[in-house]
Amino acid sequence: MMLLQNNEYETAIKNFKNIDHSIPIIYSVIEKNNGGKVFVDNVKNPENIFILPDGGFIYYDTLNSSEDFMLEMKSFLFSELIPAMTEKEMVLFSFDEQTRTCLDKIFSDEGVIRIQRFIFDFSQEKFLNLEVRALPEEFSLTMMKDEELREYNVLKNTGYSHRQMGCRIMKGSTVISQCVSIFIGGGEAEIDIFTHENYRNKGMATICAHSFILECLKKGLKPSWSCWPFRAESIVLAEKLGFMNKKMVDAHFWAENM
């Protein structure tokens, strides 16, 4: 398992055609918009790729289901990466059932389980037909400034990039709702949204996310939405904003004391 240098990322990813979700997270690293590490089995012609975005999930794709590479990856995860984490947790996505089945076997002695995440497709037509009410006068909506995005990255334990963007609804100095993308790549922007608990179910998240998505479209970016199945409010909001055809994607999960 070899660590690639930044200038080797784009050449390596060309071999992997079946990456069909998490595009902005993976490509934010490949395009060097965000920090992270990329490991492969062969620099010139890789058949296995292991991507560790800073502050994100973990991704593995393979052309040959190499057990040797998977064992190296497992050793790195449980001997180096996870022990160094403050919050010891792993969420690892792969991209086909054959690979997931191989990983089930590789991780069987570590107590790793499978969990599922919803992935959505974006319908621009449905989004543009959405009618959004006006923001009440006591609130303001602005795009986030660089220093605000930097503060957000500190909270998320990720690195700042000039490509990151976000918008906020404010009431005085209080953040009421904010919609942010810290992972932008592959022509897509991954959405992360938060609304103050005292202002939920009042339409604030819809207004904030709608403005953010409009900004994405102005920049030629496709918004990307995913969430855990238990996040019912996120699913409802996604569908309201034009995200459709949700599908379940399996991931391998491990956490300390699980």
Q: Please say whether the dihedral angle defined by the alpha carbons of residues 99, 89, 78 and 47, taken in this order, is positive or negative.
A: positive
Spell out the residues 6+ positions from residue 45 whose beta carbon is closer than 8 angstroms to its own. 15
CATH topology of domain 2-117+251-255: Aminopeptidase (3.40.630)
Kindly tell me if the per-residue pLDDT of 218 is higher than 70: yes
Find the length of the chain.
258
Query: Residue 58 — pLDDT band, cuts 50, 70, 90?
Result: very high
Q: What are the sequence ranges of the domains in the chain? A: 2-117+251-255, 122-247
Average pLDDT, the chain: 92
Which superfamily does 122-247 belong to? Gcn5-related N-acetyltransferase (GNAT) (3.40.630.30)
Q: Sorting pLDDT into bands at 50, 70 and 90, what band is 164?
A: confident
Same topology between domain 2-117+251-255 and domain 122-247: yes
- Phi, psi for residue 200 in degrees, rounded to 5: -80, 155
* pLDDT band, very low/low/confident/very high, at 153 (cuts 50, 70, 90): low
What are the residues whose beta carbons fall under 8 Å from the beta carbon of 73, sequence distance 6 or more? 1, 39, 50, 60
* C-alpha–C-alpha distance, residues 122 and 81, integer Å: 34
Cβ–Cβ < 8 Å for 8, 39: no
pTM for the whole thing?
0.91
Q: What is the DSSP letter of 78?
A: I
Asked if residue 156 has pLDDT above 60, the reply is no
pLDDT tens readout for residues 14-24: 877 778 899 99
What pLDDT shows up at residue 10?
80
Alpha-carbon gap, residue 225 to 243, rounded angstroms: 7
158 pLDDT band (50/70/90 cuts)?
Answer: low
How far is residue 62 CA from its own chain's centroid?
20
| Mean pLDDT of the 161-181 span | 89
| Residue (of 194, 132, 184, 176) closest to 160 by Cα position | 184
Q: Give the pair of three-digit tokens for residue 66.
A: 């190499």
Q: Phi and psi for 27 in degrees, rounded to 5?
A: -75, -15
pLDDT at 159: 56
C-alpha span between 225 and 183 (Å, rounded): 12
- Residue 161: pLDDT band (50, 70, 90) is low
pLDDT tens track for 180-197: 998 999 999 999 999 999
